[in-house]
């Protein structure tokens, strides 16, 4: 009897009415091979080695932020495990062929042995029980029966408990692939039964290169700066970036228009970089009227006040990195690099830290404010007022040395200038403490023995000096004084430590007090008396 009489012929498939419909870029360019999966090289190498050595786990957990490729990776793993090759004789491979029936069926989402479930809409124990019952039966046509559970952290507590036994001892033909954006919500009992892969945020430069390739395939053009802006806005997510790029290409029009940086900036509501640089310059110069006018100009162009403060925060961060000697980020304009270098030379770390804290506080206030633009103006005025104040560390030093703290330097509406180079180790450690390197300064007072102090080299004795302190001390010196300073370690005795000098001075002063006529007479009259403390001013005037 023929198969057709038994009704086993495959029924004719209806034509997909959406077969010719436009697919968004995020779906169209979903990776189909591990080579197309960007930014996850460590995971691919580990998985490839496991396949080659036949050391495949029975459960995999993929975690990471949205859009880094968790679900795509799960499907690729399903392909890798079930691929049979073009000749239908192959085994598991890290390079699935993409042409055999299992590969094509999995890519099209129609393979009967690869079951995908969204845990956000199937959270109950009954949904998991169906998986447990079905897992007992062998795969119909594939090598492995694979369950892909997306957003697995959404499963209920009872559902997780029901899954545990099967997850720990699954049948040999079953593999579980879990994906989640909130791994901290997955029970430890489940985590311990899975091989975990943390998918990293994709670096902005790799995203920009990927977007350039996609743009070319779409027959469109885009400025490198525009792609760099989209990559930064994506925050490590390929899907988010492709969605923005899709919108940008549509925004450019259908007449061959290129995706420009200005168009992307306007589309995303980002502040113009030139305008932000001008605003930042006005803020650190203490020009309140000019800064408020510049802010209002941005606001009138439709830029959100919170976005302005965010851009100012990014500027402070880039200035700080530039001060540390870091290279410019990809896509950064030459004029911006020059401006950052100038500000880095002018502004000290205490000033930059203070700017960061004040702008961050203003950003949070604007996010909650009933009047955002007014709150933003008040935040900028607070930053400008703070920029005219002296540095707390420098102020403390002046007070300690009896120097005047007022005068033009305290009232001039400009950024505080870098202080002069320290004259000796004691002054250097005071500067480190002012920069909040208290722990390093305290260790240096107790352990560092000076040999010579001559800008820009500090030569110290290696005797009794821990290696980690040498490293930390030099890094702290460079943070405070600049990258050209260095610490040289020499095998020589060196001077006494500052702690020893202070202890000797205190002992000498105590002996002097005990030898003074009044105290000596008191000790003689009262032999059991003990010197607890003394008043230096009183002793000097006595």
- Structure-model confidence comparison of residues 27 and 518, the more confident one: 27
Is the pLDDT at 535 greater than 70? The verdict is no
**235, burial (CB in 10 Å: exposed 0-12, middle 13-18, buried 19+):** middle
Mean pLDDT score, 228-254: 84
450, 495 contact by CB (below 8 A) = yes
Mean pLDDT score, 463-486: 84
% of the chain at pLDDT higher than 70: 85
Mean pLDDT score, 33-44: 86
- Of the candidate ranges 239-243, 355-359, 472-476, 479-483, the one whose mean pLDDT is the lowest: 479-483
- Of the candidate ranges 19-23, 260-264, 526-530, the one whose mean pLDDT is the lowest: 19-23
pLDDT of residue 385: 84
pLDDT tens digits along 129-176: 988 988 888 888 889 999 999 999 999 999 999 999 888 888 889 999
Average pLDDT, the chain: 82
Q: What angle do CA 431, 437, 443 make, to 5 degrees?
A: 95
Confidence bin at 275 (pLDDT 50/70/90) = confident
- Structure-model confidence comparison of residues 542 and 129, the more confident one: 129
pLDDT tens digits along 481-502: 877 788 888 888 888 888 888 8
pLDDT of residue 419: 58
- Structure-model confidence comparison of residues 93 and 252, the more confident one: 93
Is the pLDDT at 272 greater than 90? The verdict is no
pLDDT tens digits along 51-86: 888 888 899 999 988 888 898 899 999 999 999 999
pLDDT of residue 20: 57
pLDDT of residue 366: 92
Q: Which of 181, 284, 188, 291 is nearest to 236 (CA)?
A: 181
3-state SS, residue 147: strand
- What CA–CA distance (Å, rounded) separates 289 from 276? 16
Q: How many CB atoms lie within 10 A of CB 480?
A: 21
Is the pLDDT at 17 greater than 60? The verdict is no
pLDDT tens digits along 498-522: 888 888 887 877 877 777 777 777 7
Confidence bin at 188 (pLDDT 50/70/90) = very high
Which residues lie across from 196 on neighbouring strands?
61
Per residue in 505-532, is it b (16+ CB within 10 Å) or e — as a string?
eeeeeeeebeeeeebeeeeeeeeeeeee
pLDDT of residue 388: 61
């Amino acid at each position: 009897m023929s198969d057709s009489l038994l009704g086993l012929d495959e029924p004719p498939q209806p034509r997909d009415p959406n077969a010719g419909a436009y697919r968004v870029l995020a779906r169209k360019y979903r990776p189909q091979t591990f080579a197309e999966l960007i930014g996850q090289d460590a995971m691919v190498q580990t998985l490839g080695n496991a396949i080659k050595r036949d050391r495949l786990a029975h459960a995999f957990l993929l975690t990471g932020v949205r859009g880094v490729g968790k679900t795509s990776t799960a499907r690729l793993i399903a392909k890798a495990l079930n691929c049979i090759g073009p000749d239908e004789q192959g085994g598991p491979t890290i390079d699935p062929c993409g042409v055999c029936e299992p590969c094509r069926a999995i890519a099209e989402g129609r393979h009967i042995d690869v079951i995908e479930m969204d845990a956000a809409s199937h959270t109950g124990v009954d949904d998991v029980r169906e998986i447990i019952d079905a897992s007992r039966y062998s795969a119909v046509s594939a090598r492995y029966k694979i369950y892909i559970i997306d957003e697995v952290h959404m499963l209920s507590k009872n559902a997780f408990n029901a899954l545990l036994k099967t997850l720990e001892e699954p049948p040999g033909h079953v593999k579980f692939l879990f994906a989640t954006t909130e791994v901290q919500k997955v029970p430890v009992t489940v985590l311990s039964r899975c091989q975990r892969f943390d998918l990293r945020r994709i670096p902005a430069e790799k995203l920009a290169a990927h977007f350039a390739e996609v743009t070319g395939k779409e027959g469109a053009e885009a400025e490198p700066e525009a792609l760099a802006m989209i990559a930064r806005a994506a925050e490590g997510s390929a899907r988010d970036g492709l969605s923005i790029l899709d919108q940008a290409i549509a925004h450019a029009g259908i007449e061959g228009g290129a995706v420009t940086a200005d168009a992307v900036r306007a589309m995303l509501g980002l502040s113009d970089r030139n305008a932000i640089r001008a605003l930042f310059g006005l803020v650190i110069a203490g020009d309140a009227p000019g800064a408020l006018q510049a802010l209002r100009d941005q606001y009138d162009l439709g830029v959100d006040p919170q976005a302005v403060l965010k851009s100012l925060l990014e500027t402070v961060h880039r200035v700080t990195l530039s001060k540390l000697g870091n290279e410019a980020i990809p896509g950064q304009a030459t004029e911006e690099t020059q401006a950052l270098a100038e500000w880095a030379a002018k502004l000290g770390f205490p000033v930059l830290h203070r700017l960061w804290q004040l702008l961050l506080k203003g950003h949070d206030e604007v996010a909650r404010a009933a009047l955002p633009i007014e709150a933003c103006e008040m935040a900028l005025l607070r930053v400008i007022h703070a920029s005219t104040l002296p540095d707390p560390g420098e102020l403390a030093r002046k007070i300690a040395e009896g120097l005047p703290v007022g005068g033009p330097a305290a009232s001039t509406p400009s950024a505080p200038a870098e202080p002069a180079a320290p004259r000796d180790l004691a002054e250097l450690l005071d500067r480190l403490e002012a920069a909040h390197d208290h722990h390093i300064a305290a260790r240096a007072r107790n352990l560092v023995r000076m040999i010579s102090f001559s800008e820009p080299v500090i030569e110290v004795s290696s005797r009794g000096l821990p290696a980690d302190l040498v490293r930390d001390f030099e890094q702290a010196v460079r943070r405070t004084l600049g990258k050209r300073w260095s610490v040289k370690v020499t095998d020589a005795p060196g001077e006494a430590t500052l702690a020893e000098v202070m202890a000797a001075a205190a002992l000498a002063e105590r002996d002097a007090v005990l030898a003074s006529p009044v105290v000596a007479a008191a000790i003689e009259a009262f032999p059991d008396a003990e010197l607890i403390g003394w008043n230096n001013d009183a002793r000097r005037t006595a």
